[in-house]
Structure 1
Amino acid sequence: MLYDDDDDHRPALSRRLRTPGVITVAALVPACLAGWLIWHAVGGPDDSVSAKNPAPAPTGGSTPGAAPTHTPTGTTGDDKPGRGEAAGHGPLAGKVVVIDPGHNPNNYRHPTEINRRVNIGKGTTECDTTGTSTNNGYAEARFTLDVSHRLRSLLEKQGAKVELTQNDDHSFGPCVTERAAAGNKAKADAAVSVHADGSSVGHRGFHVILPALVKAGAANTADIVAPSRDLGTRIAGTFVRDTGTAPSNYIDGGTGLDTRSDLGGLNLSTVPKVFIECGNMRDPKDAALLTSASWRQKAAQGIADGISGFLHAE
């Protein structure tokens, strides 16, 4: 996920902007993070503290790092994510989850529309962006839709009502303001925006983006900062466990958590919400994972398990 306004903030990260934030695990030794996150996700207490333009990148093969200690359930096959059949019945019955598949496969056809500035409380930003891609042309927007479909199926099988902000049914966008509004309108119990990053070769791993405290214009995240941190920490832990991949080695010292105040999808949300960058499409080893259907199923499982843990703890 890259944004055109990020040029001056993260030169080593292909135009990504980072706003330093208060993260509960920031003081942990990065090498111990994976174990801590797993403990938090599966063994810790339930009362936890409650833009891009595609550019060439090398490709290559890789296998996941450590083998996951959890066997994903409810999978529907590598190439057919499918839909859940038990929505409304199960442990998440009555819960509403909004999934925001980042970007749109058709955004590149509408530069004028997606470059239109929209107000996100703390300044303005583009309506939307094209997203990144692997060197072989696998677009982030396709990745996010695939993982979102798999995630929807897994959550529906647990009884949750799941809504997508877009399903390749918009000619472009929707704008980041509309993506936030979708979760607010649904009165979602949790919302997650699915992305993949576009950083430099050698930058590997996932990270979860948490909302910073923003009070400006239409933005007021005061009520969602704490529950969003809980949601994001749980997703980070289960993502480690279910995919066997490590937190990002280039964001916030390997904590796997990053707090930002420049994302309209978070600033304008009134419900607990996080972004997840599932990996770096520009790194050949990460790209090999992101283009693997079986790994995408594990990624969806990791996100679903984090959301489920968060909703059960409410």
Structure 2
Amino acid sequence: MKWRMVPMLLAGSAMLTACTSGGATPTSMPEPLLQPVSIPQAPAPSSSPSPTPPTPPPHAGTVVMLDPGHNGGNASHPAEINKQVPAGRGETKPCNTTGTATNAGYTEHAFNWDVAQRVGAALATHGVQVRYTRDNDTGVGPCVDKRAAIANQSGAAAVVSIHADGSDSSSAHGFHVSYSNPPLNAAQGRPSIGLADDMRDAFRSAGFPTSTYLGSGGIYPRDDLAGLNLATLPAVLVECGNMRNPGEAAAMSSTAGRQRYADAITAGILGYLGL
């Protein structure tokens, strides 16, 4: 007996045969409709760059201590400001003094305070954290040793004491910058000398003459200033000029003049900081 291979009909063919067995003309099965499929597209990359984080000011976090000399209430508290305090090198000095004034009565303490505020505002625009040894111009002191301690505790990159002189000679004029000499620690050596040189250079660049009566070339090293002797950070004292000299007194008494002094001090500090 031979086996005959019969091809298997697909289910669709069997259905087609059944539908035509009655002699009707076969009809074609409709083709399935292909519907377009929408494929989500990834968003096109933005042509605008991501915002750049703001660049911090060049000296953000740097601390500078400003010491406006004297104070407005000193004159009314003689016992307090005349008491002796340590001045370094085994010496003592009065706690503080009243400071000097122009012949017309404009006081040194007011000049120092005003200039210090202007310097502080300018330094703040560079990100410098500015601190002061006193917070108004109506108090007493602080004593010179306390001012040095306040500065030392701040960890400041630079300490600048702001003053004006009161020479008896009305012809004496010009600025000078002092630092502690001979140095008592490393900070009083090269760092303080560098700060003094940068301050001197800034005053010269601003057109201020160097002192005609103290120091040489605008630099006057000293060993008798408590704030400098007790400093453990780079520190200088700036005598902006002679308040008894008519020309310098007029400049110090004017808003524009005080701004010029403030600009020079600011430039000296920024120069030392490396800007």
Is the aligned partner of 1:245 residue 2:213? Answer: no
Q: Which residue of 2 aligns with 1:296?
A: 258
- Residue pairs, 1:256-275, within 5 angstroms: 256-275=218-237
Aligned 8 A contact 2:164 2:240 in 1: yes
SS at match of 2:64: strand
* DSSP 3-state at the match of 2:220: strand
Match in the other structure for 1:171: 139
Contact 2:178 2:196 in 1 (8 A): yes
Report matched runs for 1:66-145 at 5 Å.
89-122=56-89, 123-145=91-113
Instruction: Choose the corresponding residue for 2:268, options 274, 297, 306.
Output: 306
Native 8 Å contact 1:133 1:140 kept in 2: yes
CA RMSD between the two structures: 1.5
Please state how far the C-alpha of 1:223 moved relative to its aligned partner.
3.1
Contact 2:179 2:235 in 1 (8 A): yes
The aligned length equals 219
CA shift in 2, pair 1:89/1:149, >3 Å? farther
The alpha carbon displacement at 1:92 in A equals: 1.4
Looking at structure 1, the residues matched to 157 and 179 of structure 2 have their Cα atoms a distance apart, in angstroms, of 16
Partner of 2:185: 221
- For residues 227 and 148 of structure 2, the distance between their equivalents in structure 1, rounded to whole angstroms, comes to 5
Q: Which runs of 4+ in 1 moved over 4 A?
A: none
**Equivalent of residue 208 in structure 1, options 177, 183, 187:** 177
* Pairing partner for 2:123 from 135, 151, 155: 155
Structure 2: stretches of 5+ with no match in the other structure:
1-54
Asked if the contact 2:152–2:231 (Cα under 8 Å) also holds between the matched residues in 1, the reply is: yes
Equivalent position to 2:248, from 286, 300, 305: 286
| 292 and 171 in structure 1: CA distance in 2 versus 1, 3 angstrom threshold | closer
* Structure 1 counterpart of 2:150: 182
Q: Deviations over 1:80-114 (max 9, x none)?
A: xxxxxxxx941111210000000001100000000
Give, as a single letter, the amino acid of the residue that structure 1 aligns with 2:180.
Answer: P
5+ residue gaps, structure 1, are 1-87, 215-219
Residue type at the aligned position of 2:213: Y
**Is the 8 Å Cα contact of residues 73 and 137 (structure 2) preserved in structure 1?**
no
**Paired position in structure 1 for 2:239:** 277
Distance 1:225 1:310 in 2: 14
In the TM superposition, what is the alpha-carbon distance from 1:268 to its structure 2 partner? Answer: 0.5
Q: Cα deviation per residue 1:248-282 (whole Å; 9 max; x = unaligned)?
A: 111124x1000001111001110000000001001
Deviation at 1:245, TM superposition (A): 1.6
After superposition, the C-alpha distances for 1:24-58 in whole angstroms (9 at most, x for unaligned) are xxxxxxxxxxxxxxxxxxxxxxxxxxxxxxxxxxx
| In structure 2, distance between residues paired with 1:263 and 1:135 | 25
**Identity between Structure 1 and Structure 2 (%):** 44
- Between the aligned partners of 1:114 and 1:251, the Cα distance in structure 2 is 26
Q: CA deviation at 1:171?
A: 2.9
Specify which structure has the bigger relative contact order, considering alpha-carbon pairs within 8 angstroms and separated by 6 or more residues: 1
Task: Give SS of 1:103's match.
Answer: coil
**2:177 maps to amino acid:** V
TM-score, normalised to structure 2, is 0.77
Distance (Å, rounded) in 2 between the aligned partners of 1:288 and 1:91: 35
